[in-house]
Amino acid sequence: MNPAVRAVVRMSIAKGCVPYAIYEGYEGLVQGGDLIQEKAWEDVRGWLSEGGTLIGTARCASFRERPGRLRAARNLILKGIDALIICGGDGSLTGADIFRSEWKGLLDELVTTGELTQEQVTGHEHLNIVGLVGSIDNDMSSTDATIGAYSSLTRICQAVDFIDATAYSHSRAFVIEVMGRHCGWLALMAGVATGADFVFIPEKPPVDGWEDEMCAIIRKHRTMGKRKTIVIVAEGAIDRNLNPVSASYVKDVLVQKLRLDTRITTLGHVQRGGTACAYDRMLATLQGVEAVQAVLDSTPETPSPMIAITENKITRKPLMEAVKLTQAVATAIKKKDFETAMALRDAEFEEYYRAYMATTKLDDPLQKVSEDKRMKIAIIHLGAPAGGMNAATRAAATYCLSRGHRPFSVGNGFPGLCRHDSVRELTWLQVESWAIRGGSEIGTNRSLPSEDMGMVAWYFQKYRFDGLLIIGGFEAFHALSELQKARQSYPAFRIPMVCLPATISNNVPGTEYSLGSDTCLNALIDYCDAIKQSASASRRRVFVVEVQGGRSGYVATMAGLSVGALAVYTPEEGINLKMLESDIDHLKESFANDQGMNRAGKLILRNEKSSKTYTTELIANMIHEEAKGRFESRTSVPGHVQQGGTPTPMDRVRAVRLAIRCVQFLEDNVRTPEEILADSSTASVIGIKGAAVIFSPISALENEDTDWKDRRPKSAFWLEFTDIADTLSGRKGIPGSSTFTANL
């Protein structure tokens, strides 16, 4: 929530508006006075890395009644406020829309009673409302993610990962209760991300006699050699008769039916704590910026908008329509209409549920394909390690096994294949624990198949692979291109092939998101938060941090947006002397305007390949020279720390979803060798683009959207965020200065 407030305040100022913060939620609106405060640019400095909400939140019974809303309207008019951006759940957003609908009547009454004059209300005849959804439950319809949900999921997965080690050591079962009174998103995603054995969610209660089904699945896992058992229960979990499914009852079932040493862990409000993860910082920032623009675009006839995100695109949705759909889920559950309840969640929710069941329930005859359709599928990693590679491999392998296919790993990339015949058939027990592991369990390599294409084809023919899944970065993309072209000469490659992008650089054409990029950003913001704290605690200091990313500025730009960097240098924009001169002047003004906060620390992020001339060290030295002792400069290079350790929940859950989609692509494209040779779409890259998951033929991407020289797409969606990052950092001029006024 704090990054959202920061974005709204600074973008409002940049647009020439006056921002106010209302403390203690609607209670502050009703009470007025000092609880409604005008905010200046520097008031929200450092808010990106603060957890909770610094302006407070509170339930307010008085705002639910008209007299309370009447006082709230009076307080807003006295401050000259006629637009509200609300960050909260469906109740808060519903209250705001009611407030808007009553606005004219409230003002008329205040004038009639003499509490306000006609002159005071003139020019404020309409109240504009924009909603931002802040909810760790991710329970709002019409948006894929709510502010706070992924941060909460991060806390849950960290806890389960820690518990996992104890469960394995003692061969125990753990029943973990997570939040989610009316929505099972946290429980489901935690189950997907951690490889839990069973999950309970309110939208999809288990079948009658679920105790036997759960025990059968867990018994099967134990029989196959699994030493630990994790069951995740949403606090609102129910059975099909609407009876609560409690963690204690699940424990009793495991103890009595399976004789497992079982413990219960209730995570409670720890799920709300801590600083925001990278995704939530970006989501809140971009939605806050969009909310300000939505206010400026609003007319009296415009329905109140809610700022949403669909896949990778910030969108506006009708606020009350989203609220009604959200409330309809609870109604459907009460009516035992669970199919409707699942349908009312976004399509992604149901897809994740199907993916979870397919990877945990191994012997479902309904999942198996007929003998004649069963495939031998090869999985290979290429490029540098990236968070989510192992989770994707696990998901692909377990999904293959549930369908009756045979998954094979190719160890250490194409050199491992050609030199060591590194093909190994994957078993469920072998990959079961890979969901939470970083790096690459099967090994990865940057070498391309063209180094020995004939030998690669010989091994493909030897093992008679029916499909190929390549997981990796630009090397994986390049390898797919080579293999597709080699089909003409080598019949062994006339099989369906798909590339799943996985690289911290997020530079693969055909997608706006690559596995590992979220893990990288979280590792980087943790590093930068610590560096910024050091800079603030010691002296007035600026750190120039060198960021990885190859010739793609994605990591630097999104990290800069997430940590509030004063400037970001990318290969796409480059660095020149005039730019450095302007930024150093901006840095001087920034320190000068810190209003007595003489220990303020600043960050500048520089992509490793932004310039051959203006190195990280040189930039820091130039700053030091120009500072004239008023502040100091230092360099910092996180290096391979940015690859991260344990993958983030986002990289894990998206790895599962996309890997299963890839296997389904291979299944759907089983054809004769002649048909494969004639259809280039049978070699494709899976990607998230805008608001959809798509498969793009490699032949089209390499010709139309690939900058081969710089190893990146010709166009990048995130370039539009550079102006936002510059604006929110004040890079285009410090508020109150002549340069800032000129820019406005």
Which residues are known to be catalytic?
A: 137
For residue 67, CA distances in Å to 23, 74, 91, 124, 741 come to 20, 11, 18, 20, 41
Does the annotation list 311 as a binding residue? no
Token pair listed for 684: 């494709």
Taking the C-alpha atoms of residue 148 and residue 276, their distance in angstroms, rounded to an integer, is: 7
Does the annotation list 629 as a binding residue? no
Does the annotation list 235 as a binding residue? yes
For residue 605, CA distances in Å to 440, 492, 608, 685, 728 come to 28, 46, 9, 31, 15
* HSE of 737, CA atoms in CB hemisphere, 13 A: 17
DSSP string of 154-175? HHHHHHHHHHHHHHHHHT-EEE
Does the annotation list 71 as a binding residue? no
Contact residues for 266 (Cβ-Cβ < 8 A; gap 6+): 176, 177, 247
Does the annotation list 88 as a binding residue? no
Does the annotation list 272 as a binding residue? yes
CB 24 within 8 A of CB 58: yes
Does the annotation list 92 as a binding residue? yes
Residue written as token pair 């620390």: 601
Does the annotation list 639 as a binding residue? no
Does the annotation list 179 as a binding residue? yes
Taking the C-alpha atoms of residue 151 and residue 597, their distance in angstroms, rounded to an integer, is: 30
Which run of H or of E encompasses 405?
Answer: none
CB 525 within 8 A of CB 509: no
Contact residues for 448 (Cβ-Cβ < 8 A; gap 6+): 414, 475, 478, 479, 482
Does the annotation list 504 as a binding residue? yes
Does the annotation list 181 as a binding residue? yes
Residue written as token pair 């910026």: 289
CB 564 within 8 A of CB 603: yes
Q: What strands lie across the sheet with 128-133, from one edge to the other?
A: 83-88, 128-133, 305-310, 313-318
Taking the C-alpha atoms of residue 84 and residue 36, their distance in angstroms, rounded to an integer, is: 12
Does the annotation list 264 as a binding residue? no
Does the annotation list 729 as a binding residue? no
Does the annotation list 134 as a binding residue? no
Bridge-based pairing of strands 423-425 and 406-410 is: antiparallel
CB 649 within 8 A of CB 153: yes
Does the annotation list 548 as a binding residue? yes
Does the annotation list 446 as a binding residue? yes
Does the annotation list 363 as a binding residue? no
Does the annotation list 641 as a binding residue? yes
Does the annotation list 263 as a binding residue? yes
- From the CB of residue 485, how many other CB atoms can be counted at a distance below 10 Å? 17
Does the annotation list 394 as a binding residue? no
Does the annotation list 443 as a binding residue? no
DSSP string of 112-152? HTTSS-HHHHTT----EEEEEEB-TT---TT-S--BTHHHH
Does the annotation list 711 as a binding residue? yes
CB 551 within 8 A of CB 470: no
Does the annotation list 135 as a binding residue? yes
Does the annotation list 105 as a binding residue? no
Exposure string for 546-575, b = 16+ CB within 10 A, e = fewer? bbbbbbbbbbbbbbbbbbbbbbbbbbbbeb
Does the annotation list 680 as a binding residue? no
Binding-site sequence positions for ATP:
59-60, 89-92
Binding-site sequence positions for Mg(2+):
90
Binding-site sequence positions for beta-D-fructose 2,6-bisphosphate:
446, 503-507, 541, 548-550, 608, 634, 640-643, 711
Binding-site sequence positions:
59-60, 89-92, 135-137, 172, 179-181, 235, 263, 269-272, 446, 503-507, 541, 548-550, 608, 634, 640-643, 711
Binding-site sequence positions for substrate:
135-137, 172, 179-181, 235, 263, 269-272
